[in-house]
Structure 1
Amino acid sequence: MKKTLLILLTFFLFTNAFSQPVITGMVLDENGISMPGVSVLIKGTSIGTITDFNGKFSIKIDHKDAVLVFSFIGYSPSEITVGNQTSINIKMVPDMVGLDEVVIVGYGSQKKVSVVGAISTITTKGLVQSPAANISNALAGRLTGLTTVQNTGQPGKDDASLYIRGRSTWVNASPLYIVDGVERESYTQVDANEIEYFSILKDASATAVYGVRGANGVIIITTKRGKEQKPEVSLSAQYGLQQPTRLPNYLQSYETALLRNESFINDGYTDDQLPFQPAALEAFRTHSDPYHYPDVDWYDEVIRKFSPQSQYNVNIKGGTKTARYFLSTGYLNQEGLFNTQKHNDYNTNFRYDRFNFRSNLDIDVSKDLTFSVTIAARLEDTNEPGSTGYSGAENQASFAPLTRTPPYETPIFQKNGKPGVGPSGANPWLSVNGYGYTRNKKDVVESLVNLNYKLDKLTKGLSAKALLSYDSYFIEQKRYSKKTATYRLDSGPDEEDSYTVFGEDTELKYDGGYISDFSKSYFEGSLNYSRSFGIHNVTGLLLGNMESKSYGDDIPYRNMGLVSRLTYDYADSYIAEFNMGYNGSENFARGKRFGLFPSLSVGWIISHGNLLEKLPFINFMKLRMSYGLVGNDKIGGDRFMYSEEYSYRDSWVSPSLPYFGTSAIESQIVTLSRIANPDLTWEKANKFNFGLETNFWENKLNTSVDVFLEYRKDILMDRNSIPRYLGVKPPAGNIGKTRNSGCEVEIKYRDKIGEDFNFWVNVNYSFAKNIIIYKDEPENKLQWQKEEGQSIGQFYGYKVLGFFDITDFDGNGVLNEKYPLQLVGEAPKPGDFIYADINGDKVVDDRDKLPIGYSDIPESTIGFSYGFDWKGFDFSMMWQAAYHVSLNISSESLYEFCEGGRVQDFHKGRWAYYTDPFTGELVDTRATATYPRLHSQSSSPNWTINDFFLYNSSYLKLRNIEIGYELPIKQLAVLGISKMRVYLNGNNLLTFSEVKQVDPEGPGYGGNRERGWNYPQLAIYNLGINVTF
């Protein structure tokens, strides 16, 4: 027995001698309050723990040289060497980029850690990295849940369309734009140097306070304000060169003429009817006679290789304990791409000039009262070419002549030095030089006064706020026109020159214009409450607002509402938030003008408890969930649709009709043009959101995942199921329904190697897919052509099975009976498309169209960025991708010789099988054809929307790349300079897509873009410098 006790005693002493010391302690915040959920990690190992609910911890160490690392979201990490200590108490220091980081929410701000809504934010640094003149074009790929679609690069008119979490309505899916707490008509031309935060509010928890205007999401811009500091002056200057990201690759005259002949052969013309005989072909090939047989690359002649852009900005900020200020002024000049003549007193090129000014002033009138005032002005001057010389709709597109005019049409100038003209009457160079110009001026003044009064004398944490704003917009257009005579060379190559002159030269003159104005006033008053009772934290908001907008002589647009918010969190761990908007609009009938839009959200910061104690590498974890109802009053249609509308006109009345009188006389007729719908209302969106935020490894890795679902109803639409023989158009009704769902993922990693090398990687992914649940469609509409079950913007067209071959026709050109009868365009011939007979009725017609491709905006977008800084040098790069999106290109951008126009490089891949009448050679491309046979007329059966011509417009773009260097401060101090940085950056430098004719980004159907008439999107190469005094 003694032996056994001796062995046990020896074992106990041995293990005790080699046992690991246990370190205990407590972690407190800056106010001395215990902090649960703090990560305590032994540096260089994965061994760790977290503090309990009382802020206490206990951890075993291997040796006294061990270093404990304390980390918590919102606080700076702290390191303590254990040494001979057995108990360690530590007070954490807040880190402004973490817990105390402010997130802008509707009608206020919150600490990031306590936010339970779905919100994404970008700061000034992310915006100014892009040299894009328009801030809407600097956002692509930077924020989860935001889809940007830029349609044009035209200076001053290049706003991108923004969609938050895709589209849930086919009427108006634009978000609400708020600048400094006030809805603004325009935000895209705000100078990025003035912006502090750019936030998007996505779920019902974040947008319910905007009630009837929040269903499409909200974009909030907060401008910079002064701080208590010495005056600081920041200067920035940039100079860049712009060039198109995509231009069509048109063929020269010789190849164009060969294919033009081929199209005539395909359409049955005889050899002597071909437009280009051997002599002309040889002249095109050898360029022997540039006046009779010109070969003009119109894009090369009219569009410059590069056009300049410059931006300058001066910011001044500072303040004392009682007054703070921020002043900013900026100037932007963006020149157009056209190669125009330099006239003495005017320019016909595109051009955009913008002058910005902003003054933000905050004054503490007393310890309780703060007075703030903001004055912002923006003067915009836009120039563009006048009439292109085309009639009708072509005047709307300066690029139309470039797409329509063949290279052999005419030389730019004839032998006599006068502008040339061909059979179509066009000269693209003259279209941008010879018809004058249009000038648009826009003056914007935005003013805001804000009073904030602390009411702690009544109860601690209570304050009152009053805000009043007034905005005015003045727009003026002036058109200046002139005419230029053109000359057509009529004589042959061996004859004395003779010309036919068209038109005459005239002086530039004023040719009309217009003036319009707009003003908006807004008022809000609110009570705010924020107070802590031990571990109980409560905030509240009660706000009322009114807004009135006036457009010229129109009846003002007015709305008003009430807003409330109540938040509660327990021990910084359990959060609940209730939001409500109660809004009214004069656009609806009495009794239907106001609506209630509530939301409820909850959050649980799991890392503030003991649940993750065995996972010390997880520093922060928060679950959040929200559900609510929001509305959209941008429902389309006319105003006051709750009332009947009558039209009045003069007309001749026949005596045989039941009108007054016995003979045909001029009478006044009043007719019912609109039936009233007194039940008209706004769209309603029920939204659900679930989110998870997690930080790992000393907060180096941050992740966020959101899943959302939305049901939208009461979408306004025409009643298409009611027969037309009703006799009058039935009133539109709130009957449409959709479902929209998706997910968002964001991953950020930041670390350092050694003392000087810091690097970061960010990845974000957004997916949103909508489905039409109900749309009032004609009863006899075929099931596969209905929009129900499809996405908004879905394309419909024919399914292409291949090309007809010569063996599919008999000797008389009659199609084999095994194929259905095709009634699309003219009768098909070898080389034309074979269309699928979807309904099996042996006839291909409109009833065989079906959904093809995807929608016209991306379902999925990805942003990937990375960068580093090292000893003053910095580098960053950002890529953006979009996929599951389709683009329909037609007319001049795709079809051969459309409107007598041009052909591109891809037309050389056409289907062909014929014998060249001039060389006798067999032309056979059937085995390699990637395009149908060429036609000379617009009746081609191939010229219709189908899945062959509907492009997959998914793309990958290098959105931004930048390299910079910050000069050492010591060398600059003698000049009073505290910071100087020079940099080189670029925007839209690379684009990868199967779409080659135009930039793949943009709306997929209709309008000038699909015809190639839009101003191209731009790549920018930019050099800049920032100096701070």
Structure 2
Amino acid sequence: MKKNHKYGAWYDHAFKKTFLIMRLVLVISLVCIMQTFALDSYTQNSKISLSVRDLKLEDIIMQIESGTKYRFAYNRNEIDVDKNYSVSIKEAEIKEVLDQLFSDQGINYVIIDRQIILSAEEDPFISKQNHTVSGRVIDSMGMPMPGVTVVIKGSTKGTITDLDGKYSLADVSVNATLQFSFVGMRMQEIQAADESIINVTMVEETVGIEEVVAVGYGTQRKETLTGSISKVDGDELARSQTINLSSSLAGKLPGLIVNQRTGTPGAESLDITIRGTGTFNNNSPLVVVDGVPRDNILERINPEDIESVTILKDASAAIYGARAANGVILVTTKEGAQSKPTFNLSYSYGINNPTKVPDMMDAVLFAQVFNETQYYLQGRPDMSNYAPFFSDEAIQKFRDGSDPILYPNTNWPEVSLKKNPSQQRINFQASGGSENIRYLLSFGTSDQGGNYVNQPYSYKKYNARARVDVDLTKNLTVGANMSAILEERSEANGTDFVTILQANPTLVAVYPNGLIAPGRFGNNPLLSNRRGYNKWKNDPINTTFTASYKVPFVEGLTLDASYNYDLRNQFQKVFSKPHEYHEYNVQTGEYDPKTNNIPISVEDTYSRWTTALSNFRISYKTTIKEDHNVSAMVGTEQQKQTYSYAMAYRKNFVSPAIPQINAGSTKPEDLNNGGSASENAYNNFFGRVNYNFKSKYLLEFVFRYDGSQIFPEGKRYGFFPAVSGGWRISEEDFMANMKFIDELKLRGSYGELGNDRVPAYQYLQAFQFGNNFVFGGGDVPGIYSSTLPNPNITWEVSKKLDFGMDAILWNRLLGVEVTVFNEKRSNILLQRNLSIGQVFGFPALPDQNIGEVENHGFEVVLTHQNTIGDLTYSVNGNVSFARSKIIFMDETPPTESYQTNTGHPLGSDLYYKSDGIFNTQEELDSYPHGAGSQVGDIKVLDLNGDKIINGDDRYRASNSPQPEYVFGLTANLQYKGFDLSLFFQGQTNAWTYDGTVDEFGQEDLDNGLVYRATNRWTISNQEGATMPRSNDWQPGTTDFFLYDATFFRLKNAELGYTLPASILSKTGINDVRVFVNGVNLLTWAKEITWRDPEMSGGFTQYPPLRILSFGVNVKF
């Protein structure tokens, strides 16, 4: 029979559409490759006008770099950049400008392509015993570096490295010093001596002010940055072999808090916040990829495609207005470069296992604990005259394994979890360009297997990206950036990690003949592949087109425009069917086939999201009277988002062979349909103005006038301004004698930002079906008002205050960043509980903008790098602290003051205060306790002293699951061909309640933790018990099971080796690097030792994974 289904047909159509788009992009990119095999140099004919008097050389260099594509390289110990120079020239070539600038100054320069190398004049009496020097230049990852400038110090003689990173320089004196320089890398000087081969490894300038970082709708040099902004390079993130980019960000950036709650393939649950939490509502930051706000993208984007990730933490995020209160994550993807075509192929294969599988009770311990449970349930005063559920003979058979069918001892995690399921990643990139065209083409695939035996847990991802930038004229550049992703995720229907952990160990999993037993109620985890499946397909397509025009008749004026269209489709199918298992018949000794009575059913769900965004900006940059540098940008942006959802459900199929909706029953009781749709639109105007005086005194103003359709007319628009300033103290004359300070800057900012991540359209009257009425002699379904509308609802407002210090010390060996911040969030949407009471007969009260929360904290970053002989190393450490406090929420006053939410952190809960365990009857009788308390139960304190244990004795905890301190430490080492990277991550001041610890040995026959059982109170183990008795009584949630979630882990480690060039010289391959990598290798936890301490919700979640992999990177 042909299987027709409208959703499946639609999905095939969508996938074909995706394929056609990517095929078109591939054709365009291949054309670009063929057009750009020749490497052209940057034009030397650019005209420069420059007029300055008595200005520091460093500031003059900055002016030239900001107005051209030239980049300078020099040694600060050799070139005095603080010395004042003068020059006045118009419409001249760069050579003319430099000749006039350095006339009779004792400075030589070399211009090679876009590089300008400055050096002191060579001693004329240097020996002229000359020879030829050649070699190869690579980066810290062992990859060849084309375009590196190599010059003889103090002369105008030099060259650049070719595509393979190779160079050759003739007529080099034995007394000469070779200088190697590249933008973003530390300049290196090497004595030529009589060496004929000199190989060099370039090191990133990680401690420096020349770094360029992304900001909202543009970039800025770090030295003139006034906001609190942190950045991590994509190459560092790609080292982690996790498929989810979000997980790789944990600990990398100060202020960014990432907690991985589960490790389900393709559906890891991660909580991401910037500087903690500030609202009762959504605390997620805004994610912007290549200038476009995008939801649910971090977990899907290919880490190999990332150029950098930057976070805006303070008022600098105000340029994103009503969506920026929780901070902004800016993701910049890679682009093509002006070079001959280069090809990169990377492959990695690994195995993954849970970081920690809880130790569950075996059959012997389970039987003993269960007997105790039954004893306590019967209320017996002692163990005498008690007929246990499991006899001593049965327990002995569990122990000795003499009867594996009737008295098994099943280790369910052992039989249900796979050993070393595999995962692999493949990525291919092609990039290059000429003077006028730059392109990048990337394809990748990831395949991650699940950890369950007989369960179809898996995740596959296919991604493609193409980016092309074309200089149509000298002033006009256009570009296209397109990406497509296809995700396929599959998992069992009805089985999860908790089913495995809590399975009864006294039941058989698999009979000796290989037949699968029923487990408990037919819920054996090994049967999950017979129950059906749960499958998802996702295919996001993102397209962006850009144009940039430099207005020729107004120097410094640029027009930028972009249009973006994103489409994401998701299709989910849940298929359930009866399944067969076998039961052992004690009387006959046969294995009887059984089938459960689950009906055949299918549920298809289709979801579709679209985003259309247009953006137009005008930018202007100029210098006034030599010292006053001004830049400004204004823009407008319109965005429309739509969402639609459709669901169809059928059951009672004739056969499970056709799991399609149209094959199901059409009876009303056997079907269900549903659907919804929504849309939203934004309209805004934004801008930024920057001013600095000699790059010493810095000032920035940003704003956004934002409008959102989810709010009522008259409340839709808001103005969100921010101002920031900086003072580069190191540029002051009085700092001239403090030679150990290379850079010292103070900065501060203040601004107002919005948060519209709240339920939409609360100003409209909402209705719901229900409340049947008798009409015409029969029941007629009606509708009723579910929530009162609020016509005055609007966005939350965040007021952010930030102060910081940035310093670079001791000839750039040490970098220090210190920041303190305070945020006051107001207009938070909450229901009134005190000032307006609930009125009988009315629907629920609407949310109102009444809540207030304060959040404060600090961040510290230390960086160090150095080269000692052939060893190059760098260390980067960061620590962040953030603590929230509720200021107002209109709560009903509790009976006791220590129960109020006000004054406590967000996420704090009420707990009974525990004080150990009642060890004796005398102790129990002498202290207030609940009616059900027995010896061995948790002792709860009578906080209000009324001799009664009730809800008034609960207190509000001063902590929450949100960590207040997070920290990260990265160490990188390179020695000749070897490289080693270590990354540590951790948190403290986080507390999590784990009530699942106490779920064991109950009357429902669920299994429990060995940790809980071996430390429980018993008649024979009273003084040494750290856990209450089995089946203990509690008045409610106690802090006995509130645990310190402090942990420190080796998050990632990688050891690599780059093959020597001599081995590859005749292969046509430029570079080969092999590596081994480990993720979540070691973990130290303060209290939570029975499960992964990063998880939430107890030990029953699918845990994060430990991944061991090896791989190879090939460049040709």
TM-score grouping bracket, smaller chain normalisation: 0.7 to 0.9
What is the rounded CA distance, in whole Å, between the counterparts of 1:34 and 1:212 in structure 2? Answer: 35
Match of 2:357 in 1: 247
Q: Which amino acid aligns with 2:219?
A: S
Match of 1:196 among 292, 299, 307: 307
Question: Where do residues 880-895 of structure 1 align in structure 2 (5 Å cutoff)?
Answer: 880-891=985-996, 894-895=999-1000
CA RMSD of aligned residues (A): 3.1
Alpha carbons 2:893, 2:900 under 8 Å: kept: no
Alpha carbons 1:470, 1:520 under 8 Å: kept: yes
Match of 2:1107 in 1: 1020
Match of 1:716 in 2: 829
Residue 148 of structure 1 pairs with residue 258 of structure 2: yes
What is the rounded CA distance, in whole Å, between the counterparts of 1:851 and 1:513 in structure 2? Answer: 44
What is the rounded CA distance, in whole Å, between the counterparts of 1:692 and 1:383 in structure 2? Answer: 49
What is the rounded CA distance, in whole Å, between the counterparts of 1:898 and 1:339 in structure 2? Answer: 28
Match of 1:612 among 714, 722, 735: 735
Match of 1:822 among 919, 930, 934: 930
What is the rounded CA distance, in whole Å, between the counterparts of 1:33 and 1:245 in structure 2? Answer: 50
Task: Give the C-alpha shift of residue 945 in structure 1.
Answer: 2.5
Q: Which amino acid aligns with 1:385?
A: A
Match of 1:983 in 2: 1075
Match of 2:523 among 421, 426, 435: 426
Cα distance change, pair 905–646 in 1 and its aligned pair in 2 (3 A): closer
**1:154-199 CA distances to partner (integer Å, 9 max, x unpaired)?**
1111152211011111200000010010011223211111110111
Match of 1:844 in 2: 949
Alpha carbons 1:648, 1:669 under 8 Å: kept: yes
Task: Give the C-alpha shift of residue 678 in structure 1.
Answer: 1.1
What is the rounded CA distance, in whole Å, between the counterparts of 1:895 and 1:603 in structure 2? Answer: 59
- Structure 2: segments with no counterpart, 5+ residues: 1-53, 65-72, 88-105, 110-114, 127-152, 157-178, 185-204, 645-675
Cα distance change, pair 971–851 in 1 and its aligned pair in 2 (3 A): same
Match of 1:28 in 2: 57
Q: Which amino acid aligns with 1:1001?
A: E
Alpha carbons 1:381, 1:441 under 8 Å: kept: yes
What is the rounded CA distance, in whole Å, between the counterparts of 2:955 and 2:343 in structure 1? Answer: 61
Task: Give the C-alpha shift of residue 511 in structure 1.
Answer: 2.3
Cα distance change, pair 33–900 in 1 and its aligned pair in 2 (3 A): closer
Task: Give the C-alpha shift of residue 264 in structure 1.
Answer: 2.8
Match of 1:452 among 502, 527, 548: 548
Residue 437 of structure 1 pairs with residue 548 of structure 2: no
Cα distance change, pair 313–844 in 1 and its aligned pair in 2 (3 A): same
Match of 1:591 in 2: 714
Question: Where do residues 650-689 of structure 1 align in structure 2 (5 Å cutoff)?
Answer: 651-653=772-774, 665-667=778-780, 669-689=782-802
Match of 2:618 in 1: 527
What is the rounded CA distance, in whole Å, between the counterparts of 1:192 and 1:913 in structure 2? Answer: 53
Q: Which amino acid aligns with 2:500?
A: L
Task: Give the C-alpha shift of residue 84 in structure 1.
Answer: 11
Alpha carbons 2:366, 2:1001 under 8 Å: kept: no
Match of 1:133 among 235, 238, 243: 243
**1:753-810 CA distances to partner (integer Å, 9 max, x unpaired)?**
12x111111110100001000112123453211111000111321111121122427x
Match of 1:51 among 82, 88, 100: 82
Question: Where do residues 876-1025 of structure 1 align in structure 2 (5 Å cutoff)?
Answer: 876-891=981-996, 894-897=999-1002, 899-914=1004-1019, 924-935=1020-1031, 940-942=1032-1034, 944-993=1036-1085, 994-1003=1087-1096, 1009-1010=1097-1098, 1012-1025=1099-1112
What is the rounded CA distance, in whole Å, between the counterparts of 2:860 and 2:1012 in structure 1? Answer: 42
**1:428-470 CA distances to partner (integer Å, 9 max, x unpaired)?**
222x33212121111111111101111131x110011110010
Residue 361 of structure 1 pairs with residue 449 of structure 2: no
Which sits farther off after the overlay, 421-430 or 993-1002?
421-430
What is the rounded CA distance, in whole Å, between the counterparts of 2:582 and 2:423 in structure 1? Answer: 36
What is the rounded CA distance, in whole Å, between the counterparts of 2:547 and 2:486 in structure 1? Answer: 28
What is the rounded CA distance, in whole Å, between the counterparts of 1:909 and 1:364 in structure 2? Answer: 72
Task: Give the C-alpha shift of residue 504 in structure 1.
Answer: 5.4
Q: TM-score if structure 2 supplies the norm length?
A: 0.78
Alpha carbons 1:896, 1:907 under 8 Å: kept: no
Match of 2:442 in 1: 328
Task: Give the C-alpha shift of residue 30 in structure 1.
Answer: 9.4
Cα distance change, pair 781–590 in 1 and its aligned pair in 2 (3 A): farther
Task: Give the C-alpha shift of residue 368 in structure 1.
Answer: 1.1
Q: Report the 3-state secondary structure (helix = DSSP H, G, I; strand = E; otherwise coil) of the residue aligned with 1:856.
A: coil
Question: Where do residues 515-664 of structure 1 align in structure 2 (5 Å cutoff)?
Answer: 515-533=606-624, 534-552=626-644, 554-635=677-758, 637=759, 639-649=760-770, 651-653=772-774
- Structure 1: segments with no counterpart, 5+ residues: 1-24, 57-66, 341-347, 389-397, 654-660, 810-814, 915-923, 1004-1008
Q: Which amino acid aligns with 2:795?
A: W
Match of 1:407 in 2: 505
Match of 1:11 in 2: none
Alpha carbons 2:813, 2:864 under 8 Å: kept: yes
What is the rounded CA distance, in whole Å, between the counterparts of 1:127 and 1:82 in structure 2? Answer: 46
Task: Give the C-alpha shift of residue 39 in structure 1.
Answer: 12
What is the rounded CA distance, in whole Å, between the counterparts of 2:829 and 2:226 in structure 1? Answer: 32
Task: Give the C-alpha shift of residue 297 in structure 1.
Answer: 0.5
Task: Give the C-alpha shift of residue 479 in structure 1.
Answer: 2.6
Q: Which amino acid aligns with 1:613?
A: A
Residue 472 of structure 1 pairs with residue 567 of structure 2: yes
Task: Give the C-alpha shift of residue 285 in structure 1.
Answer: 1.4
Alpha carbons 1:897, 1:903 under 8 Å: kept: no
Which sits farther off after the overlay, 257-266 or 882-891?
257-266
Match of 2:871 among 745, 748, 757: 757
* Residues matched between the structures, number: 920
Cα distance change, pair 284–455 in 1 and its aligned pair in 2 (3 A): same
Q: TM-score if structure 1 supplies the norm length?
A: 0.85
Q: Which amino acid aligns with 1:787?
A: N
Task: Give the C-alpha shift of residue 322 in structure 1.
Answer: 1.1
**1:938-987 CA distances to partner (integer Å, 9 max, x unpaired)?**
xx424842222111111011101111111112321322222211111111
Alpha carbons 1:601, 1:626 under 8 Å: kept: yes
**1:877-913 CA distances to partner (integer Å, 9 max, x unpaired)?**
1111100001111236754437421132213444444
Match of 1:280 in 2: 394
Match of 1:295 among 409, 423, 434: 409
**1:724-771 CA distances to partner (integer Å, 9 max, x unpaired)?**
3443222211111010000000000000112x1111111101000010
What is the rounded CA distance, in whole Å, between the counterparts of 1:953 and 1:970 in structure 2? Answer: 51
Which sits farther off after the overlay, 945-954 or 167-176?
945-954
Match of 2:858 among 743, 749, 753: 743
What is the rounded CA distance, in whole Å, between the counterparts of 2:771 and 2:1023 in structure 1? Answer: 64
What is the rounded CA distance, in whole Å, between the counterparts of 2:766 and 2:256 in structure 1? Answer: 39
Alpha carbons 2:1017, 2:1027 under 8 Å: kept: no
Cα distance change, pair 198–503 in 1 and its aligned pair in 2 (3 A): same
Task: Give the C-alpha shift of residue 417 in structure 1.
Answer: 4.7
Match of 2:580 in 1: 485
What is the rounded CA distance, in whole Å, between the counterparts of 2:569 and 2:934 in structure 1? Answer: 58
What is the rounded CA distance, in whole Å, between the counterparts of 1:839 and 1:1001 in structure 2? Answer: 35
Alpha carbons 2:285, 2:329 under 8 Å: kept: yes
What is the rounded CA distance, in whole Å, between the counterparts of 2:458 and 2:364 in structure 1? Answer: 36
Alpha carbons 1:234, 1:1028 under 8 Å: kept: yes
What is the rounded CA distance, in whole Å, between the counterparts of 2:632 and 2:306 in structure 1? Answer: 27
Match of 2:556 in 1: 461
Cα distance change, pair 911–868 in 1 and its aligned pair in 2 (3 A): closer
| Percent sequence identity over aligned pairs | 31
Residue 387 of structure 1 pairs with residue 474 of structure 2: no
What is the rounded CA distance, in whole Å, between the counterparts of 1:509 and 1:973 in structure 2? Answer: 63
Cα distance change, pair 901–642 in 1 and its aligned pair in 2 (3 A): same
Cα distance change, pair 490–944 in 1 and its aligned pair in 2 (3 A): farther
Task: Give the C-alpha shift of residue 304 in structure 1.
Answer: 1.4
Cα distance change, pair 649–798 in 1 and its aligned pair in 2 (3 A): closer
